[in-house]
Amino acid sequence: MTKKKRLASVSLDLDNQWSYMKIHGDKGWDSYPSYFDIFIPHILNVLDELNLKITFFIVGKDTESEENRRFLKMITERGHDVGNHSYHHESWLQSYSYEEIQNEIISAETAIEQATGKKPVGFRGPGFSWSKDLLKVLESRGYLYDASTLPTYLGPLARLYYFRKSDLSKEEKKTRKELFGKFSEGFRKLKPYYWNLGAGRQIAEMPVTTVPVLKFPFHLSYLIYLSNVSMYLMRIYLGFALFLCKLTRTPVSFLLHPLDLIGGDQIAELSFFPGMQTNSHRKVEVFKTVIQRLSKSYQLTNMTDHLHYEAENVVFKKLEP
Ligand SMILES: [Zn+2]
């Protein structure tokens, strides 16, 4: 009898062309240029080839154009799950008031449901931003989980790198001062748990998995970067990360971004972006290698199914936000 594999989840933050331009400080982002016509059919085909169903975290703003809605609809038609990735994709949700957060969540949720026919039950904050008010709003709307935490000590380092690569003004850098999180994010738990919101209210947290103990990220962006140094190195690193996950019984929630899967050959407007000189074909090959490796240890699924599975099989700790 073969032993049944544990579940692990794969999710993609569906950041559009404009959100990359906005975060980078490029002019023209506010006309909301979109690459969904190229990216969405591309990723759906790759996922079909791998027979993989994942969660797409969608930005509300992207549902405003009819052209975008045509492509967003394909996501659920092809059997994928959807999550809420905020309405405006601003990476400083921790500075929002309760009412502002509420508007942001509800407007995105309504828009995503209208565009895809599916109501999101999970949320991931842009740039891993979140707050206690955010958790409360999610719980009151019947969400099952938040997925906005990335437990790593390297957040400040990632921010420094990003600031150096961008054309942001001093003011813009100030509003983005907590982008990718503080050093203290590294102390957060890697295994899913419940946030205790008082009065018997709670919501699950599904952290983006980093390497246990070391808390180094190993989501696809990092693996693509490593594979450009050496494919062998990438395999060793991923194998090591999964070995430690197994050893510490840490569930795996694996994160993707559009630019991990498509290159400057297909999205010329973003060809100046770091990593965009690697072409789509090469990125997809690396992705397939990664998925094959993950599939050796896990049965891969979307985040909602993964959450149900974990909650049925382990007792989650309860933490104070
Ligand atoms: Zn995002």
pLDDT digits (tens, 9 = 90+) for 44-58: 999 999 999 999 999
How many Å lie between the centroid of ligand 1 and the Cα of residue 202?
Answer: 25
How many Å lie between the centroid of ligand 1 and the Cα of residue 85?
Answer: 7
How many Å lie between the centroid of ligand 1 and the Cα of residue 124?
Answer: 8
How many Å lie between the centroid of ligand 1 and the Cα of residue 75?
Answer: 17
Provide CB contacts within 8 A for 49, sequence distance 6+: 288
How many Å lie between the centroid of ligand 1 and the Cα of residue 21?
Answer: 12
How many Å lie between the centroid of ligand 1 and the Cα of residue 3?
Answer: 36
- Of 26-30, 51-55, 203-207, 304-308, least confident by mean pLDDT is 26-30
Confidence grade of residue 25 (pLDDT, cut at 50, 70, 90): confident
- Of 61-70, 130-139, 250-259, 310-319, least confident by mean pLDDT is 310-319
Tell me, what's the pLDDT at 179? Answer: 64
How many Å lie between the centroid of ligand 1 and the Cα of residue 140?
Answer: 23
Is residue 96 within 8 A of residue 104, CB to CB? The reply is yes
- CB neighbours (10 Å) of residue 238? 20
100, containing H or E segment: helix 98-116
**Positive or negative: CA dihedral 283, 284, 289, 295:** positive
Tell me, what's the pLDDT at 180? Answer: 64
How many Å lie between the centroid of ligand 1 and the Cα of residue 5?
Answer: 30
How many Å lie between the centroid of ligand 1 and the Cα of residue 126?
Answer: 4
